[in-house]
Structure 1
Amino acid sequence: MKFTKWVQGLNRSIWLGVALSGGLSLTACSQVATVEEKPSAPSESKLSPQLLSQEALESAQHAQQVFQVLAAELMVEKGYPADAFNVMFPLAAETREPELAKRAFELSMTTYDEQAIAQAAALWAEVAPQEPAAWRVAYFMSLRQNQLPLALEQWQTYRQYSDATLEEDLLLAAQRLSRSAPNDAIKGFFARLQQESPEVWQAYYGLGLLYSVWQQPDGAIAQLEKAVQVLQQADKASDDAQQDAVQQIYQLLSKVYLQLDNPQPGLKGLAGYLKQFPQDWLVQERMARLEVKAERYKAAEKRYQAILKSNSEATTSRLSLALLQIEMQKYSQAAKNLQLVVKQPAYESVGYYYLGVLSQQQNLSEQAYDYFEKVKVAPYAVDAKLHQSEIVFSSKGLDAALAVLDSVKMDDDESRVKVYRAKAIFYRASDRYADAIDLFDKALTIQPDNASLLFSKAALLYEEKRYLEYEQTMQKVVALLPDEVEALNALGYFYVEQNVKLDEAAVLLNKALALAPNNYYVLDSVGWLAYRQQRYADAEEYLQQAVAIEADVEVVMHLIAVKWVLNKRAEAEKLWRQYRSQFADDSRYQSLMPTFQKQLGK
């Protein structure tokens, strides 16, 4: 009699009930295996195992195994499934019973140990060679472990026994693998399937789905566009089925386009599809978001209005339309849409929050405060308090604003950082720089690599003339954001201003200039660096470009200084007079030319 059939003969629920009540023991379990033996003579009560009959030995072994099964299930009932796996897997490996192997795999999933899961999956496939689920799990785990050749073998075996179509299995594979980290095996797996079945659009869609989940939009777009091409070339599908497939691809494609920094590929890529399928409101909504990203506000507004005309209950689109109308300064229309948004319970807090923002932008402070008071749900509740503190600071001062912030329930680190930052801003506005720095330090204790906090702290350190700390802080910002133009310029210009480490300044500022060649303050910094290096002609060229873009007082003063040192003193004086009235309140500017003339003895 096979072990599994014998175990299945037990009333498992009864024995688990005994186990949970504390009555299960090895002796009790042995009593279940009703081995028909003749009563032993007293002198034979301690017979050695080798003197027992073969049937008795097998039955005793089965009893021990039943106990192990029940013990493992008891562990599951008690909330220790990973411990249950450690009992069940060796038993399944010993008995090679398919049902136990399947159960061992189920328990392995609770361990979150990929090696354990892979071992259990391999055992299940080995002892149940015609079980498609076992081979599906096996190839899936091999791919997760970056074992492409083995995964392909297991995939082929799985396909022999799978009742699903190839198309269905490809989509299932992509969906399950989307929870895995990207690796070469997964990419190679779909590449091989594309080679073997180039006419199957799901092979391209599947890899496109994975790239989208992995936040690799360029790869996703290439695969999904290929899926569209393959689908359009296919003759097998009915018109309805093909339309459904096209819709499925473009709904994912529209999501991927939103991952790009540049909205133009999405605007171009979705235009033709929406002409053919104008009723696909999900893609219409994403197209509107792309239009907002491209600052094509009128087109986006019209699209959102069309969505709402089709479905007045599309609250997310209504909220997006309201925010767009705030940006377009269509305040009355935005307010009407937000009043509709707040009628939906799930959107009440976000609706009131933006009604507060809208009122604050219109300088309706009391109304804004009242709207913010109605915001109760995180994360908007904390942000609403920050806005209220801003309103109070303007009317009642620092202490009142701090009191509002002290009322915030800081249940998480994100909330704490927001409150510390807000307090620091108010302290800075009150010229209490040291207190502001202390609060930024508290926030940085929670988020030590928050570049925005570091940048804000650095500005205060500069004001306090704590230059060494400023330099160290800005070096960390640049390390965190190596392509951030403002950070590169801030540190580079600091070196120029202090007339130190000019070689390092050149590296920082040249990189900033390469990233932002038309940025006036970067041009100013590069020009002033050239001045420090006595490359006056270069300095004049950069500074004239900067002034042409933005006649900032600092930039104009730098250009005047360079022209003066180049002995272009008439040009310098003319330039100074040109902007004298514009910078009438700047004492440094007003005294600049008299200082130069005094140096000449005039």
Structure 2
Amino acid sequence: MAGFASQWFKRPLRAQLRGVAAAAMLCTAYAAQAQTQTPAPAEAPASSPSASPAAPVPQNSALDTPLLYQLLVGEIVLRNGQAGDAYQLYLDAARRLRDEGLFRRTVEIALQARAGDQALQAAKAWRQALPQSGEALRFELQLLLALHRGNEVAEPLRTLLERSPDAERPGLIATLPRLLQRQDQPRETAQLLDNVLKPYLERPDTRTISRVAQGSAWLSAGEAQRALSLAEQAAADDPNSPAPALLALEMLPRQVAADALVRRYMEQPQAEPAVRLSYARTLSAMQRYGEAVQQVELVTQAKPDVAPPFLMLGALRLELREPARAEVALQRYLQLVREQGASANEEGEDEPADEARQRGVTQAQLLLAQAAEQRGDMAQAERWLAGIDDPQRLVEVQARRALLLAHQGRVDEGRALLHALPERSEEEARAKLMAEVQWLRELKRWDETYKLLAAGNQRFSADPDLLYEQAMAAEKLDRVDEMERLLRQVITLKPDHQHAYNALGYSLAERNQRLPEARQLIAKALELAPGDPFIIDSLGWVEFRMGNTQEALRLLQQAYTARPDIEIAAHLGEVLWTLGRRDEALRVWREARGRDGSNELLRATLARLKVDL
């Protein structure tokens, strides 16, 4: 204590007095609380019915004068910055008194000093002194996880599960994978969860969620097939539970087999709308827009007064080039937002309600402008754009406005709008470049697109996405060798760039060259993005080129069901036409023409086959 005393007396007298007074108040208040605890009044003896009730007798506190002084000193040295000494004084007092409050204070002192091991030591001492303390158990478990001491978690975790009320235990089990996911060894974590949850795998109220928790842990450990097997067992246990379907959703698109489990759940009328929307988002990310629309429509029918699904439905309808139907959904969204305010929007975790509302309204306005543009109503599209006042969406608004001007023959004005966009950072400069690239592509000005991207790749070197865009521009200019060189460069820089593999394979198939290599490239792309309808379309096309017509038909029908795109329709129609199923081919082509009669591939296909719709 000599060192402590010398430091203490160097402090100004007023500061010393403040520290002593505060510490004394804390310790005196604690002692007063302990001394005022009283036992239950004793019953009067049976032989003395007239005896007066006994007066409450104060219970002597275990906090004697030396311990009171010890706590006072502990608080003083803590205020003097000596957390280690304070920790030892408080831990000793807590052990002697076996008091929850003092143990809690000891743990807090260690945490404030960022001494995790000491905090854990105090929590373990707390549990040893008070084995039934739920708070001590939670502190120990949380500290073990924070310190990545996963090998010590099993015992407190088992105890926590055993002590949990029956009604709360399934919810606790559901949180365990997320609770444990930050541990350094995910495989060991999954094995730990298997062992801890073993007693709950046969209980009707916990078996489904236990298998889902196990599956989630094994998925984090990279064992997707094992996770899927557990999800299937859980779904068999309880077909009505959404938990197995949600686990299966995490496996898409990598595990195509997981889709069957999700679809089985979605076929049930009582499937939860939130799960349907999650599935729709996953399908949309996989570009399976037709299937995504079906799921969102079911949600809007079940909940016609909930706004967010209508925004999603409008966006999907636009992807399918159905502008009139998109406008109906988007107008309904805006109507609900006006009627219900911010509550009609899905809020982000840290996003205020008003910001969520404005973000949704801005998105709807941009989509409505795009819908009007698809219908050829440029004036209405401009009115929607003029109503947007969101600096964060400036690039999108100006890009669409520039395109409207170009469609009206005012190309120079449109380009000037894009050139006026700010580029105060590399991120803004790249966004500005991509806006002009998109604008030029829409106008089919391929030579300018190529030159702009070549300059961009000089500035933003080793950017695989920009190189990919340049390769696509080279393909439009019939610079096939340059396209292949660029795509192979993309694959070298980013070996998991599925679009580069697909584009290279499709280009070979389209030119009827090196077809085995084309198939291999496309198969690699499909391995990286299972279920992608455009890649399945490419594979169908290369099978057709190789003479495997029935396999080509199967693949193209699968792709068209997932996404009824115009170019997929062109390929499917040609295969049907070749097989002599001409009425079906004409129906598919007419559907595609109804969406976009100007599509180059569709027109070229019809011209080559001499088909008049």
* TM-score scaled by length of structure 2: 0.57
Q: Deviations over 1:389-441 (max 9, x none)?
A: 22334445665334323554668765543212223556783745555433344
Which among 19, 26, 38 is matched to residue 29 of structure 1?
19
Q: Summarize deviations over 1:286-342 as a string: whole Å, max 9, x none.
A: 566677769584x76566445334422221222233334334544333212211222
Give the direction of change, closer, same or farther, for the CA distance of 1:148–1:506 in structure 2 (3 Å limit): farther
* Aligned equivalent of 2:418: 405
Which residue of 469, 475, 478 corresponds with 2:489?
475
> Which residue in the other structure is 1:227 paired with?
234
Please tell me whether the aligned partners of residues 322 and 335 of structure 1 are also in contact (alpha carbons under 8 angstroms): yes
Q: Where does residue 528 of structure 2 map in the other structure?
A: none
Aligned to 1:372: 385
Q: CA deviation at 1:29?
A: 3.3
Partner of 1:190: 193
- Distance, in Å, in 2 between the alignment partners of 1:412 and 1:105 is 46
**Per the alignment, in what secondary structure is the counterpart of residue 19 of structure 2?**
helix
Equivalent positions of 1:77-476 (< 5 A) are 99=101, 102-103=104-105, 105-106=107-108, 116-117=115-116, 119-129=118-128, 130=131, 131-142=133-144, 147-158=149-160, 166-167=169-170, 169-177=172-180, 183-199=186-202, 200-201=206-207, 202-210=209-217, 220-230=227-237, 246-247=240-241, 249=243, 252-253=246-247, 255-256=249-250, 262=256, 264-266=259-261, 268-271=263-266, 274-275=268-269, 277=270, 280-286=272-278, 297=290, 304-343=296-335, 344=337, 346=357, 347-377=360-390, 380-395=393-408, 399-408=412-421, 415-424=428-437, 429=445, 431-432=447-448, 434-442=451-459, 444=460, 450-457=463-470, 474-476=488-490
Pair 1:188–1:142, CA change in 2 (3 A)? farther
Q: Distance in 1 between matches of 2:86 and 2:487?
A: 55
SS state of the match for residue 404, structure 1?
helix
Amino acid at match of 1:173: L
Cα distance change, pair 342–90 in 1 and its aligned pair in 2 (3 A): farther
Q: Would you say 1:484 and 2:478 are equivalent positions?
A: no
Correspondence 1:553-568 to 2 at 5 A: none
Structure 1: gaps spanning 5 or more residues: 1-21, 35-54, 73-83, 233-245, 498-504, 525-547, 550-578, 584-602
Partner Cα distance (1:224, 1:85) in 2: 49
User: Which residue number corresponds to residue 18 of structure 1?
Assistant: none
What is the distance in 1 between the residues matched to 2:145 and 2:369? 51
Which of 69, 75, 92 aligns to 1:66? It is 75
Distance 2:169 2:416 in 1: 64
Match of 1:25, SS? Answer: helix
Q: Against the structure 1 CA distance between its residues 452 and 348, is the aligned structure 2 distance closer, same or farther, given a 3 Å change threshold?
A: same
**Conserved in 2, the CA contact under 8 Å of 1:477 and 1:487?**
yes
- State the SS of the aligned residue for 1:342: helix
Q: Is the 8 A contact 2:190 2:218 kept in 1?
A: no
Q: Is the 8 A contact 1:427 1:435 kept in 2?
A: no
Partner SS state of residue 376, structure 1: coil
Maintained 8 Å contact 2:418/2:436? yes
8 A contact 1:410–1:416 mirrored in 2: yes
Give the letter for the 2:434 counterpart. R
Counterpart amino acid of residue 25 in structure 1: A
Deviation at 1:187, TM superposition (A): 0.6
2:500 corresponds to which letter in structure 1? E
Native 8 Å contact 1:288 1:303 kept in 2 = yes
Q: Sequence identity of aligned pairs in percent?
A: 12
Please give the per-residue CA displacement for 1:574-595, whole angstroms capped at 9, x wherever unaligned: xxxxx9x969xxxxxxxxxxxx
Could you list the runs of 5+ residues in structure 2 that have no partner in the other structure? 1-11, 25-63, 342-356, 525-537, 547-573, 576-604
Q: Which protein has the larger Cα radius of gyration, Structure 1 or Structure 2?
A: 1
Please give the alpha-carbon distance, in whole angstroms, between the structure 1 residues aligned to 2:492 and 2:544: 15
Please show how residues 22-61 of structure 1 align to structure 2 within 5 Å: 25-26=15-16, 28-30=18-20
Cα distance 1:179–1:511, how it changes in 2: closer, same or farther (>3 A)?
same
Q: Distance in 2 between matches of 1:257 and 1:327?
A: 24
What is the match of residue 8 of structure 1? none
Alpha-carbon separation, structure 2, partners of 1:489 and 1:168: 46
Asked if the contact 1:425–1:436 (Cα under 8 Å) also holds between the matched residues in 2, the reply is: no
